[in-house]
Structure 1
Amino acid sequence: MTSREPAPAVDGLAEAVGPRIERHFEALLEARGYRADAAQRTAIARLGQWLEAFLAGRKGWLRRPPAGLYLWGGVGRGKSFVMDAFFAAAPLAAKRRVHFHAFLQELQGRMAAFAGQPDPLALAARALAEETRLLCFDEFHVHDIGDAILLGRLLKVLVEEGVGLACTSNYHPDGLCPNPLYRERFKPAIGLIEKRFEVFNLDAGEDYRQRQGELEAWGSYCWPQSGFPEGWVEARLGVGDTAQRDLELAVNQHPLRVRVAGDDSAWLEFDELCRRPHSSADFLWLCRRFQRLAITGVPCLGEEAIDVQQRFVNLVDIAYDAGNRLLLASEASPDELCRGKPHMDFSRTRSRLQQLRPLQPDQWN
């Protein structure tokens, strides 16, 4: 199918797209009491300029605008904040902001609707393109062969269909798929990003998550676990006498063992979640079903097998993106968690764990 030219989507807009987005960024900074560094300001300006050119489309013999903008850098560089401002100010209705794991599950569901037809992935991607002119993709990363195949082909179809893509990632495009076992399958997608996207590195800025006093705690990190009194997890979760204990839930047609479940809270063991073959779809179900999660028995992750580490990384990503309240308990301190040989994505996980409020037994009351 030939690509369709982007049509103007902001008829009657009094303010140009780029300045509108920069103005909203400044207003968001002021409202939250933040300050931006030069790299963030350059990134928001690039996003605004790209979107303005993309919505205008190709004119005459002029070169077509980039299909998207790929913003990458280490953890804590402000990528999500920049994306917040850009997405909120983008002046079109057919826009979506998606997170990696939830979007892949949605894509698989869309493909199932076209089962039995030729190329369900292309059909699902084209259906998505009919609904979406701008797709903002947070935390873009590829560490699974299934993800590599799906994302690679999806990007190609979306670009062909004229969907604008804004992506944030911890990785340069060439580092997206480091596993040599299936890197060859993803190389065409890397080439597509490098050829058709504007790639911008945000690493010139400050790590904002290292500022003391500015972290927004989304839960607690409790250690050493053995020092806490009996019943402390249930007390922390606020579950009552009606809570169910030692139950087995059916999740995606296989069992998930839960120590305690209340109306919106659940307590599970690390062994159950990460040493058993649970998928990201299971974690998505868990985080949608329970707003508050307690996970006990978390080991030093660098000493675990790579599949165990990957499940923990995925679980933290999904809980963080979903806005869950998380309680983690371990014998190890936060700094000890990553000793040994941690997973390649653990820098992002470590950053998110640093936003958990530390709690030790002598602080318990």
Structure 2
Amino acid sequence: MATPELLNIGERVRQHFAAELASRNYTADAAQQAASAHLADWLERFLSSRKSWLRRHSAGVYIWGDVGRGKSFVMDAFFAAVPIAEKRRVHFHAFLQELQRRMRDYAGQADPLALVAREIARDVRLMCFDEFHVHDIGDAMLLGRMLKVLVDEGVGLVMTSNYKPERLCPNPLYRERFKPVIALIEQRFDICALDGGIDYRQWTNENTVWGRYVWPESKGGQARVQALLDFSENAVTDTTLNVNHHPLKVSAYEGERIWFDFHDLCGQPHSTADYIWIIEQFPQLAISGLNTLAGETEAVRQRFLNLVDIAYDRGVYLILCSEVPMDELAGEKTIDFSRTLSRLRQLKPEAL
């Protein structure tokens, strides 16, 4: 029997979603309302049920849709309304780094991944993943096995993604190995499409601006970046930092502000762990030397996308300085860059 504090959970989630909308003077579209209601109904079933061999409930909810449709807003409102303390909301990249770090604590033992997953399951009853997507097969296999253990241990999972489950791993070289993960999601999760037809991130206002986009660099962009960073004569310039035990060239840094050239930061083989380290140390980040990404390798483009994902999620103040306007940055667009471009459009543009 459900405990008193767990009664009317679905209604609690619905009321909180309505209150969040009212506080922001928003009106939810039909798809957002449906997704919120689906989450509310699932949570009530999940928290009030016991494990049973005769009746297996959905392990979670997988919400997918195009960029800017309000997936993160819906999940944030849902997460805040969940009436339990044993809950976590994590971003894809940050969780991967945590997973790899915790696995090192079990080095030398049988199946460190399963040990970490069960450790997480002891502390967490609900896990929410934002921006779930896969590009690296090593990450894919780690996440896939982790999801299976969490599901088997009874942890509830809610995920948002720009991809339908069958498109989570588009690289044909990896697809066969990733099929069991896709099957797990399709068989054990409620699949909820959120596509209201409007990119709400294009409704940029002063409350959503998270940085600047300055162009063209050749007309004084670097001088403008320096002015925005407000470096003093004590700033360290043209130096090298030791990031995760390997060198990274830096144009300048002072206090919590740092400035990189694009090709030093994204043109070299740096990992998401490197970017997380930088952002944790320097919450004001400037990058100059950007040009159209069409001429860059897939690895360079992917590093840039990962960096923007992490910076956006961690609330960094980002300054980008490019030779081209934002809409020409991508060259040919992919679904991943559409997500990134949607986030970049929340930077305040400065045409010189």
The normalised TM-score by structure 2 is 0.96
Distance in 2 separating the partners of 1:27 and 1:214:
22
Most deviating of 32-41 and 56-65: 56-65
Corresponding residue to 2:295 among 290, 299, 303? 303
Is residue 143 from structure 1 mapped to residue 153 from structure 2 by the alignment?
no
C-alpha contact (below 8 Å) 1:70/1:200 kept by paired residues: yes
Q: Please, what is the CA RMSD of the aligned residues?
A: 1.7
Do the aligned partners of residues 14 and 268 (structure 1) sit closer, same or farther apart at CA in structure 2, a change above 3 Å counting? closer
Shift of 1:19: 0.4
Equivalents in 2 of 1:353, 1:184: separation in Å?
A: 33
- Decide whether the 8 Å contact of 2:204 with 2:345 is kept in 1: no
Match of 2:72 among 80, 83, 90: 80
For residue 12 of structure 1, report the CA deviation from its aligned partner.
Answer: 2.6
Query: Which letter does structure 2 place at the counterpart of 1:321?
Result: D
Are positions 1:347 and 2:338 aligned together? yes
Hey, what's the Cα distance between the residues in 1 that align with 2:15 and 2:347?
32
Distance 1:229 1:292 in 2: 17
| Cα contact 2:210–2:317 (8 A) shared by 1 | yes
* Residue segments in structure 2 that go unaligned for 5+ positions in a row: none
Contact 2:239–2:249 (8 Å) recurs in 1: yes
1:264 maps to 256
Q: Pick one of 155, 160, 165 that aligns with 1:168.
A: 160
Decide whether aligned partners of structure 1 residues 92 and 212 sit closer, same or farther in structure 2, where only a CA change above 3 A counts. Answer: closer
| Secondary structure of the corresponding residue to residue 89 of structure 2 | strand
Partners of 1:163 and 1:357 lie apart in 2 by 40
Q: CA separation of 1:157/1:223 partners in 2, compared to 1, >3 Å: closer, same or farther?
A: same
Distance in 2, Cα, partners of 1:14 & 1:100: 29
> Aligned to 2:95, which of 87, 100, 103?
103
| Pair 1:235–1:157, CA change in 2 (3 A) | same
> What is the distance in 2 between the residues matched to 1:186 and 1:294?
36
Are the counterparts in 2 of residues 40 and 205 from structure 1 also a CA contact under 8 Å?
no
Q: Which region of structure 1 is more displaced relative to structure 2, 227-236 or 190-199?
A: 227-236
Contact map agreement 1:141 1:176 (CA 8 A) in 2: yes
Residue 316 (structure 2) aligned to one of 319, 324, 328: 324
Deviations 1:240-266 (CA, angstroms, capped at 9, x unpaired): 121111111111111011111010000
* Letter in structure 1 aligned against 2:34: T
Matches within 5 A, 1:58-97: 58=50, 63-97=55-89
1:34 aligns with 2:26: yes
Change in Cα spacing, 1:51 to 1:269, as seen in structure 2 (3 Å) is same
Residue of structure 1 in register with 2:244 after alignment: 252
1:78 and 1:230 map into 2 onto residues whose CA distance is 34
Task: Measure, in 2, the Cα distance between the counterparts of 1:24 and 1:150.
Answer: 34
Q: Provide the residue aligned with 1:219 in structure 2.
A: 211
**Higher alpha-carbon deviation: 289-298 or 341-350:** 341-350
- SS of the counterpart of 2:143? helix
Match of 1:345, SS? helix
- Please state how far the C-alpha of 1:214 moved relative to its aligned partner: 7.6
**Which residue does 2:232 correspond to in 1?**
240
Pair 1:144–1:14, CA change in 2 (3 A): closer
Check if 1:356 corresponds to 2:326.
no
Residue pair 2:215, 2:221 contacting (<8 A) in 1 also: no
Counterpart of 2:129 in 1: which secondary structure? Answer: strand
Verify the 8 A CA contact 2:204 2:346 in the aligned structure 1.
no
Shift of 1:52: 0.8
Q: Give the letter for the 1:162 counterpart.
A: G
Distance in 2 separating the partners of 1:303 and 1:278: 19
Q: Alpha carbons of 1:13 and 1:180: their partners in 2 closer, same or farther (altered >3 Å)?
A: same
Alpha-carbon distance in structure 2 between the residues aligned to 1:24 and 1:107: 31
What are the Cα deviations for residues 79-107 of structure 1, in whole angstroms up to 9, with x where unaligned? 01101100000011000000011100000
- Conserved 8 A contact 2:64-2:194: yes
C-alpha distance in 2 between matches for 1:28 and 1:357: 25
* Mapping 1:4-23, distance limit 5 Å: 11-13=3-5, 15-23=7-15
Q: Which runs of 5+ in 1 are unaligned?
A: 1-6
Q: CA deviation at 1:303?
A: 2.4
Q: Is the 8 A contact 1:67 1:197 kept in 2?
A: yes
Where 2:18 maps in the other structure, the secondary structure is helix
**Residues of 2 paired with 1:117 and 1:333: CA distance?**
52
| Alpha-carbon contact 1:39-1:205 (below 8 Å) kept | no
Q: CA deviation at 1:110?
A: 1.0
1:354 corresponds to which letter in structure 2?
R
Do the aligned residues in 2 keep the contact of 1:306 with 1:343 (CA within 8 Å)?
no
Matched residue of 1:184: which SS? Answer: helix
Q: Do residues 158 (structure 1) and 150 (structure 2) align? A: yes
Q: TM-score, normalised by structure 1?
A: 0.93
**How many residues end up aligned between the 2 structures?**
352
